[in-house]
Amino acid sequence: MRPLTAATTLVAILTVASQPALAQSRMKPTAPGTSGDPAWQAVVRLGDGRTLVTDGGIAIDAALAKLPKLPEKEFPGKVIENYFNLPLKDEYRFNDLKAPGNGRTYTTPSGIPLNATYIDYLRRILPLQSARFRMGGELQPVVILVDGKAVGVLMPVRK
């Protein structure tokens, strides 16, 4: 067995010490509250000054969510800004989504399942005529648009 050098020891200590920090920064989507609204866990600050709220599975512009108080936890917005700028090929309206047979997911015309709780929430807060969902594939985030402007993202349900 090789003796540990100072550099190897430092790398091992940093790796072990960083694990709790990484685990704390991740979020798991939570069950919706009694109102059916997402259980907001954090805010995401975008470079253009907008603030999104997220529960880990959806992020939406805080101005649309109209929360009485924003969560205290905060995440940088670079990842979501990158999602907003992806060249996504498919775009759908609420009316294009197939109603859930099981009550848990809506399905897009391209077969991507979306969480019914999130879609029902978005139906309540977004203008139905100008809201759109833009997506690229089943494992990519769905960009939520209102009047052509990206206002949030939604993670599809894994098949």
In-domain check, residue 22: no
Distance between CA atoms of residues 115 and 97, nearest Å: 11
How many structural domains does the chain have?
1
Separation of alpha carbons 131 and 136, rounded Å: 17
Helices and strands in the chain: count of H runs, count of E runs: 4, 10
The tens digit of pLDDT for each residue in 66-119 reads 999 999 999 999 999 999 999 898 999 999 999 877 778 999 999 999 999 999
Share of the chain above pLDDT 90, in %: 66
pLDDT of 4 over the 80 cut = no
Q: Please tell me the predicted confidence (pLDDT) of residue 28.
A: 56
Residue 85 lies in a domain: yes
| pLDDT reported for residue 138 | 81
User: So what's the pLDDT on residue 118?
Assistant: 95
Report pLDDT digits (tens) over 7-45.
332 333 333 333 333 334 555 555 544 457 899 999 999
**pLDDT of amino acid 35:** 59
Query: What pLDDT is stored for residue 150 in this prediction?
Result: 97
In a domain, 33, yes or no: no
Q: Is residue 136 part of a domain?
A: yes
> Strand pairing partners for 44?
52, 75
Q: What is the pLDDT of residue 104?
A: 87
Strands 73-76, 42-45: pairing kind = parallel
Print the domain residue range for 76. Answer: 38-154
C-alpha 76 chain-centroid distance: 13
The Cβ-side half-sphere exposure at 106, using a 13 Å CA radius, reads: 23
Q: Which pLDDT score is estimated for 29? A: 54
Q: Is residue 1 part of a domain?
A: no
